[in-house]
Amino acid sequence: MSTGAKILIVGFSFATIVVSFLIGVWAKKKADTAQAFFGGTALFGPVVVGLSTMAAVASAFAVIGIPGIIYATGNPMTFWMLSSAAFGMAYIILGKKVRAMAELGPVSSLGDISDLRFDKSRYIKAVMSLVLFLGCIAYLAAQIKGVSEMFAHILGWNYYVTGFLIFGVLIAYMIIGGEAGGIMTQAFQGLIMAVASVIIIVGFFVVTGGFGKVLEAAAAAGTLTNGPVTKKLSADFLNAWGVLPGQVSMVYMLIPILGTVGQPQVLTRMYALKNPRDMPRLGLWAAVSHAFVGFLAVVMGFGAIYLVATGKVPPLAKADTAAFVYADSLGAWAQLLFYATALAAAMSSASMFLSLSAGIIAKDLPEALGMRKPSDKEQISRFRVMMGVLGVISVAVALTNDSMVAILGTFGWGTLMSATFPVFVLGLLWKGASKEGVACGISVALVLNILCFALVQQKFKFPGGMPWYFNVIVASIVVTILVSLFTKGAAGKNLDKAVEKVIEL
């Protein structure tokens, strides 16, 4: 990479960080109550919330991790990234219900919605908060690790200094502006991602000639070597399932479609919408903008395969570098746009999950444990302290962990689904979802998430070859349904009448 390109990238990245900081500071005037500071509740229109939702979902996991998985396995993750219509489905299925819950009582977190639906069950709120916290920290670590590796790759900066510099600024503006500031900065970062994606996608077809040329190159390449690194390419990389077993690829199709409905960055944005009538436009903005960024991740992965197959670059020693390597081949402006997209993706998701994590520790868990509810001012002060502490710890953990960005991201995605499905998807769609059933379902989710993650660290292979978190999600849903069939707490005739009206929407 030329010196001029590096200066351009650094300059644009620095400008993105500065503008994000200024937006976060400006948003402080909106964050004058606990609801606004913790949740940005009922503050924004569909464009801001839609771009914010997309940016928080289409994270460094998507922009950096997904191209790496595509380079390693071929087509399966294409299903994941082209599931943009899932946003529309999420808002159709749950949007009105979640937004309506914010009319029944003060809502500044997912824990508040759990209180309203399940008769203020402290146990459900506590266990759900713990599972959400595990997923949030993993997803947050994926963002920090991804963007730190990126700048270390292109500029030769110290890996640790890079992480603390970039995310130190993010922590600062989140402490100042809270979730209201987070939503606004995420919308700005989402706009950068969408515009840059369109330009880079066009560049892919210009450079490679399209997917037909990629297929021809992969089919003819055979086995390639680069010292100790070997890469075996074939036409299978672009078939329906890639080089993975069919059932695994099918899971990669199902998880994003179903999982988007239960992701906190989607659920929390439903009650950030000012006018409930704007819900359809919110879904449209989120879905369309994600389609561009999702396709960007796909072309980056296949672009790297094309470069290796045609001998333009040697086989990659590390799959996570696939997106960087392909961006470097496109020239200075494409490099600028991609690295700006990756930075925006990492910052937007990191700010959302940092806010959610801090809210869990500062607000939801203390309330679930029966502690005295402090004033709005005290809550905001506590939140700011936790934001700073968790931010520093997360950066340190991410930079000293050897896990791939994609591994951290998929763990976070799956763990969050297992926490939200029993409480929000079943809870807001089915009147029969009981307090006892949901309590059992999320308890199973908590235990199995910890147990399975420990087994994965020991290289345990689960039957069927499917991602372990898929089994955890299924188990939590099945247990919730079975127990609910035989119990009636906060369900059926014991359901609050106002909540019943919400479920019927």
* Domain residue ranges of the chain, discontinuous segments joined by +: 3-24+47-402
Any idea which residue has 């055979």 for tokens?
A: 222
| H runs (alpha helix) in 400-488 | 405-420, 427-429, 435-457, 468-484
Is 61 in contact with 146 (CB distance < 8 Å)?
A: yes
Is 138 in contact with 155 (CB distance < 8 Å)?
A: no
CB atoms within 10 A of CB 177: 28
pLDDT digit string, tens, across residues 184-243: 888 998 999 999 899 889 989 988 999 999 999 999 998 888 888 888 999 988 888 888
- DSSP per residue over 251-270, as a string? HHHHHHHHHHHH-HHHHHHH
Look at residue 272 in the predicted model and tell me its pLDDT: 85
Phi and psi (nearest 5°) for 342? -65, -40
225, two tokens: 């070597």
Look at residue 401 in the predicted model and tell me its pLDDT: 63
Q: How far apart are CA 255 and CA 265, in angstroms?
A: 16
Residue 17: C-alpha distances to residues 13, 51, 158, 179 (Å): 6, 17, 18, 17
Task: For domain 3-24+47-402, give the CATH number.
Answer: 1.20.1730.10
Provide the terminal-to-terminal Cα distance of the chain, rounded to the nearest Å: 55
What is the 3 state secondary structure string of 316-381? CCCHHHHHHHHHHCCCHHHHHHHHHHHHHHHHHHHHHHHHHHHHHHHHHHHHHCCCCCCCHHHHHH
Q: How far apart are CA 472 and CA 444, in angstroms?
A: 8
Element (H, E) at 306: helix 279-309
**What string of pLDDT tens digits covers the 505 residues of the chain?**
667 777 787 788 888 888 888 888 887 777 667 777 767 777 889 999 999 988 888 877 788 788 988 999 888 888 777 878 888 888 888 888 988 888 888 888 888 899 899 988 999 999 988 888 877 777 777 777 777 777 776 667 776 777 777 788 888 888 887 878 888 888 998 999 999 899 889 989 988 999 999 999 999 998 888 888 888 999 988 888 888 877 777 777 777 777 788 788 888 888 888 888 898 898 899 999 999 999 999 999 999 999 999 999 999 988 878 888 888 888 777 788 888 888 888 888 788 888 888 888 888 888 888 887 777 777 778 888 888 888 887 777 777 765 555 555 556 667 778 888 888 889 999 999 999 999 999 999 889 888 887 887 777 777 766 777 778 888 999 999 999 999 999 988 898 899 989 998 8
| H runs (alpha helix) in 122-158 | 122-155
Q: How far apart are CA 104 and CA 79, in angstroms?
A: 38
99, two tokens: 């937004």
| H runs (alpha helix) in 156-263 | 159-208, 211-221, 246-262
399, two tokens: 């930079």
Look at residue 15 in the predicted model and tell me its pLDDT: 86
Look at residue 418 in the predicted model and tell me its pLDDT: 81
Look at residue 434 in the predicted model and tell me its pLDDT: 93
pLDDT digit string, tens, across residues 387-419: 888 888 777 777 776 555 555 555 666 777 888
Q: CA geometry: angle at 295 spanning 231 and 174, to 5°?
A: 105
Nearest 10 degrees: Cα torsion 70, 83, 412, 279: 150
Look at residue 465 in the predicted model and tell me its pLDDT: 66
Core vs surface per residue 37-55: b (16+ CB within 10 A) or e = bbbbbbbbbbbbbbbbbbb
Is 221 in contact with 309 (CB distance < 8 Å)?
A: yes
Q: How far apart are CA 444 and CA 479, in angstroms?
A: 8
